[in-house]
Amino acid sequence: MQEKILELLEDRKYGEIAALVKDMNPADAAAMLQELPEARMPVVFRLLPKELAAETFAYMEGDAQELLIQGFTDKELDEVMEEMFLDDAVDMIEEMPANVVKKILRHVDADTRKMINQVLNYPKDSAGSIMTMEYVDLKRRMTVEQAFERIRATALDSETVYTCYVTDSRRKLEGVITVRELLMAPKDAVLMDIMETNVKFVTTHTDQEEAARLLSKYDFLALPVVDAEERLVGIVTVDDAIDVIQEETTEDMEMMAAISPSDRPYLKTGVFTTWKQRVPWLLLLMISATFTSTIIASYEGALAASVVLTGFIPMLMDTGGNAGSQSSITVIRGLSLGEIRYRDVPRLVGKELCVAVLCGLSLAAANFIKLMLVDRVTLPVAAVVSLTLVCVVLVSNFVGSVLPVLAKRIGFDPAVMASPFITTIVDAVALIIYFNIAKLLLGI
């Protein structure tokens, strides 16, 4: 597609390009434009039909949007801003440098400007910051027919029309009704008789992750957002909820791998930014790892007495780290899906310890056989290593399951307690257990 278009551009066959792109889906058009060389992209963008151009713009990434805005005439910017939904506009503005923001805000009407500023003021990652204020609001005394009139009148400017909210004169949320229910109801039915009054909602300060979780739990297409006085101020739609879920997952995975989270896609991030995301954690973990060296050094006597013990250190440390990260990731994921609650913690730890005993014994047995038959070490050494394995897995599963819960309790993201952190703790504990069992059984 891109090559075909570049060829046509070369030959100045603009009409053919216009014919080629006029029926594209906006998401596809955005992807295609972003693959074009920067100098060519605005040319092709201008060949899109007006409405498609505006929709496509909303799907583009920040740097491409900035490039286009820099070159837009006043009229073009007006057209694009006119079509754009409020939440998309806010997303875009958040990524733009100040001079571009100024240019944009000059081209929206006073009402929209006020709304944009309001949304920009909500805390990052709150429901308020991702909501849109463009929804359909109805009144309780409307008939179904009047409701449809109102929906038709506001449909162009509403992000979703399928879930409508019934509010009183002070914008307090009274009920919710879907277009499906309206379609099924007689034309002269009055909303207050057919609307659902048990409305689920979040406040502007609710965490966006919680809002997404509720949307998914109740299979809603939109969730209303109210302010401190319980007045309806906006809605969060299901497509934004999916984006939030994906973003938060990426963040969790990054934290699990000891990377400071970033909002930008990997390939758009510069080498220095990526370095800054990663090196503090590597440094921190490197310094903690030197404690293990200190531990090894302090047992130098024991090691000198039985040199064969050194060889098993990596295996014991790795196994502890692996078992710990199995537990911690299970718990972190359970917490983030809401499957594990605080009151489940005793059951959780109990289960992890049972699993640890089973896993520990299986590993110890396999290891014992290998030590005796393959490595041909003495029975006491095999016993030390196998016994240590059982203890290490027990400790690892305990640490791995308890730390994420503790982190959440004191207000941290449980994901920071994932493998790298736990590995470091478990390493140290594994060595101490190992050398003490060795001292005890081998009498060194």
Cβ-based nearer residue to a second copy, 296 or 437: 296
> Are the C-beta atoms of 311 and 318 separated by less than 8 Å?
no
Contact letters for a second copy, residues 98-137 (x by CB under 8 A): ----------------------------------------
Contact with a second copy (CB under 8 A): which of 3, 193, 219, 229?
Answer: 219
Give the interface segment with a second copy, choosing from 43-51, 122-130, 139-147, 330-338 (CB under 8 A): 330-338
Enumerate residues 28-67 that contact a second copy by CB under 8 A.
none
Enumerate residues 374-403 that contact a second copy by CB under 8 A.
393
Can residue 177 be called a binding residue for a second copy (CB under 8 A)? Answer: no
Cβ-based nearer residue to a second copy, 94 or 344: 344
Give the interface segment with a second copy, choosing from 46-54, 75-83, 122-130, 293-301 (CB under 8 A): 293-301
Give the interface segment with a second copy, choosing from 24-32, 43-51, 106-114, 120-128 (CB under 8 A): 24-32
- The minimum distance between CB 75 and a second copy, in angstroms, equals 25
Can residue 239 be called a binding residue for a second copy (CB under 8 A)? Answer: yes
- The minimum distance between CB 125 and a second copy, in angstroms, equals 18
Contact with a second copy (CB under 8 A): which of 366, 369, 406, 440?
Answer: 366
- The minimum distance between CB 184 and a second copy, in angstroms, equals 6
From the CB of residue 23, how many other CB atoms can be counted at a distance below 10 Å? 9
From the CB of residue 54, how many other CB atoms can be counted at a distance below 10 Å? 18
Enumerate residues 138-167 that contact a second copy by CB under 8 A.
148, 151-152, 155-156, 161-162
Mention every residue, 6+ apart, whose C-beta is less than 8 A from residue 304: none
Contact with a second copy (CB under 8 A): which of 367, 383, 435, 438?
Answer: 367
- The minimum distance between CB 396 and a second copy, in angstroms, equals 10
Give the interface segment with a second copy, choosing from 92-100, 125-133, 187-195, 316-324 (CB under 8 A): 316-324
Contact with a second copy (CB under 8 A): which of 106, 172, 200, 409?
Answer: 200
Mention every residue, 6+ apart, whose C-beta is less than 8 A from residue 388: 316, 430, 433, 434, 437
Cβ-based nearer residue to a second copy, 25 or 121: 25
Contact letters for a second copy, residues 296-315 (x by CB under 8 A): xx--x--x---x--xxxxxx
From the CB of residue 434, how many other CB atoms can be counted at a distance below 10 Å? 26
Cβ-based nearer residue to a second copy, 1 or 70: 1
Taking only Cα atoms into account, the Rg of the chain, rounded to an integer number of angstroms, comes to: 30
Enumerate residues 421-440 that contact a second copy by CB under 8 A.
423-424, 427
Can residue 321 be called a binding residue for a second copy (CB under 8 A)? Answer: yes
Can residue 289 be called a binding residue for a second copy (CB under 8 A)? Answer: yes
Cβ-based nearer residue to a second copy, 208 or 328: 328
Enumerate residues 341-360 that contact a second copy by CB under 8 A.
344, 347-348, 351, 354-355, 358-359
- The minimum distance between CB 258 and a second copy, in angstroms, equals 6
